[in-house]
Amino acid sequence: MARRQLKQQQKRPLIVICSEGGMKSSEYYYFRNYRTRDLRIQFSTGNATDPKGMLDDLLKYIQKEDIKSEDNVRIFLVLDTDLLDKKINEIKNLKEKCLENNIEIITSAPTFEIWYLLHYRNSRLKFNNSQDVKKEIRKVNGAYSETMDMYRIIKHHTDEARRNAKSLEEKAISNGEELIKANPHTSIYKILDAISEFNKL
């Protein structure tokens, strides 16, 4: 019976996320809420904080956990641009290797917390750094720390955040901007799109 249950569990769709800080990151505290009986969400291990090091850690995790044997799996490398040209160029240099390994790059500028802010409004404010974004969240939310379970606070506005994120991207593209350089932007909604697709299976 235990073996049969394990086999059934392995067939559940899987989302793999690699983010800076791993299981101490804002991304972890947010996306862990999407785990269900029918969907696994795993966070790759590793201590790297630079884009290339994170990808290397993710590739090791994929091999160690035999992720490539999964039928229904999406793998995401979640990166903040920090609005730094050097980091943006490092991220661009990862594209080919990510494509070869079916890894999708998700960027946010300056930081992941833009995703939280978009639950409150369609913000077109320009930010100088990640701390400015966190200050703005404290203004609209009253408090914020990276270990807060923001999901429970903002979950009823997720559809609005998705629309706002897509709107920011469309605006940047229509203005002729290179999306990865757009300030602000976030493609986090693409992970939620994948979660929604898997939940329909």
HSE toward the beta carbon, residue 28, CA cutoff 13 A: 14
Residue 139: alpha-carbon gap to chain centroid: 23
The domain total for the chain is 1
Q: How many CB atoms lie within 10 A of CB 59?
A: 20
Residue ranges in the chain whose pLDDT is less than 50:
1, 3-4, 7-9
Is residue 96 a contact partner of residue 122, using CB atoms and an 8 Å limit? no
Range of the domain at 34: 2-199
Give the model's pLDDT for residue 5: 53
Give the model's pLDDT for residue 23: 85
As beta bridge partners, residue 19 has 78
Give the model's pLDDT for residue 10: 57
